[in-house]
Amino acid sequence: MNYQAPRQTLTAPIRRKRFTYVALFFCIWVIALASRLTWLQVFQHKVWVDRAMRQQQAGFEVAPRRGVLYDRNLRELAMTVLVDSVYAVPSELGENRQSAAEMLSRIVHTDPQDNFTSEHQMLARFNASRGFAWVGRRLDPQTADRIRELNLKGVYFQKEFKRFYPNQELAAQVLGYVGTDDTGLGGLERQFDDDMHGVPGHMLTALDAKRHRLGSEVNEPQPGENLVLTIDANIQYMAERALDEQMAKVKALHGTVVVQDPHTGNILALAVSPRFNPNDSKHMDAGSLENLAVSDVYEPGSTFKLVTYSAALDAAGVKPTDIVDCQGGVMTMYGRTFHDDKSDHFGRVTVQFALEHSSDVGAAKMAMKVGNQKFYDYMRGFGFGDRSGIELPSETRGLLRAPRKWGATSILSLSIGQEVGVTPVQLSTMVSTIANGGIYMPPHVLLKSTDEMKGDPRLAPMPFHPTSQLPDKLPEGSRRVIKEETSATMRMMMRGIVDEGTGSQAKLNGYSAGGKTGTAQKIDVATHTYSHTKLVASFAGMAPVSNPAITVAVVIDTPTVGTGYGGTVSAPVFAEVAQQVLEYLGVPHDMPLKTKKQMQQQQTVEIAALDDEPKDNGADLNAMFADVNNLPADDPLRATVDVNPTAPAQTASVEKKQTGVLGLLPEKVLAAFQANGGSSIMPDSIVPKAPLAAPKIAPLAVARAGGGVVVDAGQRVAVPVFLGLPLRGVIEHADAAGLRVQPVGSGLATEQVPAAGTMVPVGTEVVVRFAR
């Protein structure tokens, strides 16, 4: 029997305890590795993906095409065009940043006031970022071509939309303007900014390990909505031309003309002078940005007598042939003397005659026939003391106190247009109410909002054709104010004012016209007293009287040449605008045509020259100023007028001596910066050890030298705290607050202008200094 010896192992025996230690260590190592991988790839996946994208990509926002503003005939009033913007990748410039900034600034820095393109600020942006820095935004083709010829490494081009206003100053205050970032900063551009802006796109630029640009990917933006306005560009031009000519002739402070369709409330033209060119936002005069037609109030004077007589005819049964005793032009009530013009000593006259010759005593007696509460109700019915709802920003409701706050003789003042503050749009809408049969139709400047563009068959022009009928379905906010018979009687009485009374210079050739002149003393907002030298001349009327096609309101502030009265300053503007517009619309003549010589002979200059001589009849101005405190918090006049006449008046002047960054800006540019919530302006030079001076942010409204009020009712936000944050953090915080940032230097934020917590308008540019 064969015996086999046991097989011998070839390796040395392993001790069980050592094996256990090794196996345990290996298991722990595997678990730790798996846990770490799970943490990084599952829980921290987004963090590392985002970090990788930041290393591999540089991205920025691509602005969408802003919506087009059309007039009612689809003529472009504001549009967007594609232009070149230039940016640099600083990491690719390397050590050539200084020379690149010098060469590029020589080409793009053509405006001394545009510090954004200066060499100092361009180099600061190159040093503040490695992946992206603007060289110039929205450049003209010639400038872009010159940069292309340089063929600089690290300099690239990006197509951007630029807002363009083909008619330049036409309807500037209505349209508004946009900032460098395409944000609406005034007019309809601001009111409908969210709708017109569209949805931004994004551009991603791929980078290699050395931060070199490899390529880009664009997520296309979505365009904004287009707006079709009630404005007729041709009528707007007629109104602006007539207003500008008269402004130059009488050397007035500013003026407004409103042309309205009385049967729909649509605004056909809204002219304000002086104006600005929205294509040149860097050189705007801050004083011309305000839309005086909706945000400026004034005492209407004798034009308000139309409300007084309408109420008397409608509520008290007064007839034009009734007799009113004007008492020789002097009336005393509760110790207050109320008087007519110095040359007027009317006794017992007809109501028609009293209105034609603008008797203050006659108007006061009409108001007393109606009574305090009813008279107030009629004033509110005509739209005074309330916002009209027109689609424009910064509209004030005006000043009109409730009867419980009237003094014993306030009804006398109100009857002649004192102790009440109105806007030109409110005045025009009042006349439209009388013209259309007694129905208040809210004013509008917007016809429709649409996604269609011009050329699309679904978007057709909507030219204005005068009609004698109100819409079958009255719009929201419309209401009957006076009876139709009262409206017809008032139209005939207003015609008498032009034919026989103080409005002779408003006569038309071939058309009948009716209206009312007005001359009011301006109020000194510091002393709450009437000025003896500054006047507001106005005229509000309609044509033709038998079937009104248009209503026109003209308000000219502080004429310094001539009489300064409404009959000689504003009535001729009404005549020129109404004549041209009626001929343009093809309205049939209702009167025989006359030669130019015949027209000159029929104008009674002597009567017009005596029109509405302004009188201080003892109106309670302090009570009217105190009523400002009762306005809504967002009203442009709220908390802006000094209700204490003994306190120093606020001024809108800019301090001439500024320190730090803002002291380097020209006074005119600094005033525009403060008034409009910032601009695309960077300081011209930065002194490292000099502190940044916080700019004085303009208040919501302040008194101005002409006696009016400068209004800024834009939304305001608090400036965040940027100190200690890197550039990315600053930009994120600023974007969340709706602000813009101009970085200076690199590293962490050490100073900021304005200071944290300052309330500034949305879109304000904050200067932030960075240091390592």
Eight-state DSSP code of residue 300: -
Could you give phi then psi for residue 492, rounded to 5 degrees? -65, -40
Q: What is the mean pLDDT of residues 27-42?
A: 86
Q: What is the mean pLDDT of residues 303-318?
A: 94
Residue 353: closest CA among 514, 501, 487:
501
Is 53 a residue whose pLDDT tops 70? no
C-alpha 701, offset from chain centre: 14
The confidence score (pLDDT) of residue 664 equals 37
Q: How many helices (DSSP H) and strands (DSSP E) are in the chain? A: 25, 27
Could you give phi then psi for residue 141, rounded to 5 degrees? -55, -40
Is 621 a residue whose pLDDT tops 80? no
Q: Which residues have C-beta within 8 Å of that of residue 729, sequence separation ≥ 6?
A: 722
Q: Report how far residue 468's alpha carbon sits from residue 448's, in angstroms, rounded to the nearest whole number.
A: 23
Is 680 a residue whose pLDDT tops 80? no
Higher-confidence residue: 21 or 505? Answer: 505
- Ranges of each domain in the chain: 16-56, 59-229, 233-275+291-454+492-630, 662-697+715-771
Eight-state DSSP code of residue 301: G
The confidence score (pLDDT) of residue 647 equals 39
Q: Which residues have C-beta within 8 Å of that of residue 24, sequence separation ≥ 6?
A: none
Is 320 a residue whose pLDDT tops 90? yes
> CB of 173 within 8 A of CB of 190?
no
Query: At 298, is the secondary structure helix, strand, or coil?
Result: strand
Sign, CA torsion 503/504/508/510: positive
Q: Model confidence at 250, in pLDDT bands (50, 70, 90)?
A: very high
Long-range contacts of 459-465 (CB under 8 A, 24+ apart): 459/74, 459/228, 460/74, 461/72, 461/73, 461/74, 462/72, 462/73, 462/228, 463/72, 463/73, 463/232, 464/72, 464/232, 464/235, 464/261, 464/266, 464/268, 464/585, 465/585
pLDDT tens digits for range 141-157: 888 999 988 888 889 99
Share of the chain above pLDDT 90, in %: 40
> CB of 475 within 8 A of CB of 441?
yes
> CB of 701 within 8 A of CB of 145?
no
Q: What is the mean pLDDT of residues 740-764?
A: 77
CATH 3.30.10.20 fits 662-697+715-771, yes or no: yes
Lookup: tokens for 328: 């020789």
Q: Which residues have C-beta within 8 Å of that of residue 688, sequence separation ≥ 6?
A: none
Eight-state DSSP code of residue 551: E
Q: Report how far residue 505's alpha carbon sits from residue 608's, in angstroms, rounded to the nearest whole number.
A: 7
First to last CA, the chain: 94
> CB of 506 within 8 A of CB of 568?
no
Higher-confidence residue: 764 or 101? Answer: 101
The confidence score (pLDDT) of residue 687 equals 35
Distances (CA, A) of 75 to 373, 451, 463, 555, 580: 47, 16, 11, 28, 20
Pairing of the two strands 69-70 and 226-229: parallel
List beta partners, residue 422: 298
Q: What is the mean pLDDT of the chain?
A: 81
Q: Model confidence at 215, in pLDDT bands (50, 70, 90)?
A: low
The confidence score (pLDDT) of residue 34 equals 87
DSSP H or E segment with residue 533? strand 529-543
Angle in degrees, CA 112, 114, 119, rounded to 5: 80
The confidence score (pLDDT) of residue 55 equals 63
Q: Strand order in 740-745's β-sheet?
A: 740-745, 765-771, 748-753
pLDDT tens digits for range 77-121: 999 988 888 999 888 888 888 888 888 988 888 887 777 888 888
Q: Report how far residue 487's alpha carbon sits from residue 436's, in angstroms, rounded to the nearest whole number.
A: 8
Lookup: tokens for 288: 């011309």
Q: Report how far residue 364's alpha carbon sits from residue 11's, in angstroms, rounded to the nearest whole number.
A: 127
Higher-confidence residue: 447 or 671? Answer: 447
Q: Model confidence at 172, in pLDDT bands (50, 70, 90)?
A: very high
pLDDT tens digits for range 354-396: 999 989 999 999 999 999 999 999 999 999 999 999 999 989 9
Is 646 a residue whose pLDDT tops 50? no
Residue 123: closest CA among 135, 107, 140:
135
The confidence score (pLDDT) of residue 650 equals 37
Q: What is 233-275+291-454+492-630's CATH number, 3.40.710.10, 3.90.1310.10, 3.20.20.150, 3.40.50.620?
A: 3.40.710.10
Give the number of other CB atoms < 10 A from CB of residue 143.
Answer: 17
The 3-class secondary structure across 57-74, one letter per residue, is EEEEEECCCCCCEECCCC
Distances (CA, A) of 462 to 35, 171, 444: 70, 19, 15
pTM of the model as a whole: 0.73
The confidence score (pLDDT) of residue 631 equals 72
Q: Report how far residue 307's alpha carbon sits from residue 319's, in angstroms, rounded to the nearest whole number.
A: 15
Could you give phi then psi for residue 515, rounded to 5 degrees? 180, -175
Q: Report how far residue 96's alpha carbon sits from residue 106's, in angstroms, rounded to the nearest whole number.
A: 16
SS3 content of the chain, % helix, strand, coil (to 5): 35, 20, 45
Residue 50, classified by CB atoms within 10 Å of its CB into exposed (0-12), middle (13-18) or buried (19+), is exposed
Q: Report how far residue 509's alpha carbon sits from residue 587's, in angstroms, rounded to the nearest whole number.
A: 13
Higher-confidence residue: 46 or 342? Answer: 46
The confidence score (pLDDT) of residue 92 equals 86
Sequence letter at residue 388: S
Q: Model confidence at 167, in pLDDT bands (50, 70, 90)?
A: very high
pLDDT tens digits for range 602-619: 654 444 444 566 655 556
Q: Which residues have C-beta within 8 Å of that of residue 33, sequence separation ≥ 6?
A: none
Residue 56: closest CA among 210, 168, 235, 282:
210
Residue 281: closest CA among 144, 393, 400, 187:
187
Residue 436: closest CA among 264, 581, 232:
264
Q: What is 59-229's CATH number, 3.40.50.180, 3.40.605.10, 3.90.1310.10, 3.40.50.300?
A: 3.90.1310.10
pLDDT tens digits for range 519-553: 988 877 777 777 778 899 999 999 999 899 999 99
Q: Within 13 Å, how many C-alpha atoms sit on residue 719's CB side?
A: 25
Is 673 a residue whose pLDDT tops 80? no
The confidence score (pLDDT) of residue 18 equals 80
Lookup: tokens for 525: 């907002």
DSSP string, 380-434: HHTTTTS----S-SS----B---GGG--TTHHHHHHTT-S-BB-HHHHHHHHHHH
Is 649 a residue whose pLDDT tops 50? no
pLDDT tens digits for range 390-417: 999 989 999 999 999 988 889 999 999 9
The confidence score (pLDDT) of residue 751 equals 83
Residue 554: closest CA among 764, 243, 212:
243
